[in-house]
Chain A
Amino acid sequence: MDHAVGGTSHLSTKLVVNGHPQELRHDVRVTLLDALRDHLGVTSVKKGCDHGQCGACTVLVDGRRVVSCLSLTASLDGAEVVTAEGLGTPDELSDLQQAFVDRDGLQCGYCTPGQVCSAQAMLAEVAAGMPSHVTEPGALTDPDTAVELTDEEIRERMSGNLCRCGAYVNIVAAIRDTAARRAGTGAQP
Chain B
Amino acid sequence: MIPPEFDYAAPGTVSEALALLAEHGDEAKVLAGGQSLLPVLRMRLNAPGIVIDISRIEEIKGITESGDAVRIGAGATYQDVLDSALVSEHLGLLHKALTEVADAQIRHRGTVCGALVHADPAGDVGAPVLALDARMVIQGPDGERTVDASDFFVDLFETAVGEDELLTAVEIPKHTGWGAHYEKFVRVSHQWAIIGIAAAVRVEGGTIAEAKVGLTNMGSTPLRATSVEQALVGKEATEDAVAEACAQVGEGTDPPSDLNGQADYRKHVAGVLTRRAVVAAAGG
Contact = CB atoms under 8 A, between A and B. Distances in A.
B92 interface: yes
B103 A9 contact: no
A133 B38 CA distance: 26
B34 A71 contact: yes
A58 interface: yes
Nearest to B181: A137
B20 interface: yes
Interface stretch (B80-88, B256-264, B271-279): B80-88
A115 to B, nearest CB: 12
B99 A131 contact: yes
Given A65-B105, A70-B109, A125-B104, A75 B42 contact: no
B89 interface: yes
Contacts of B10: 1, 3-5, 74-75, 77
Interface in A43-63: 50-52, 55, 58, 61
A66 B79 CA distance: 11
Contact of A140 (B92, B109, B190): B92
A5 B12 CA distance: 8
Interface stretch (A80-88, A91-99, A103-111, A154-162): A154-162
A3 B55 CA distance: 13
A66 B5 contact: no
B42 A51 contact: yes
Contacts of A160: 102-106, 190
Given A7-B9, A8-B7, A143-B85, A157 B38 contact: no
A133 B39 CA distance: 25
B39 A52 contact: yes
Interface string A1-15: 101111111010000
A4 B11 CA distance: 6
Interface of A: 1, 3-9, 11, 27-29, 31, 50-52, 55, 58, 61, 64-67, 69-72, 74-75, 77, 118, 121-122, 125, 130-133, 140-141, 143, 155-157, 159-161
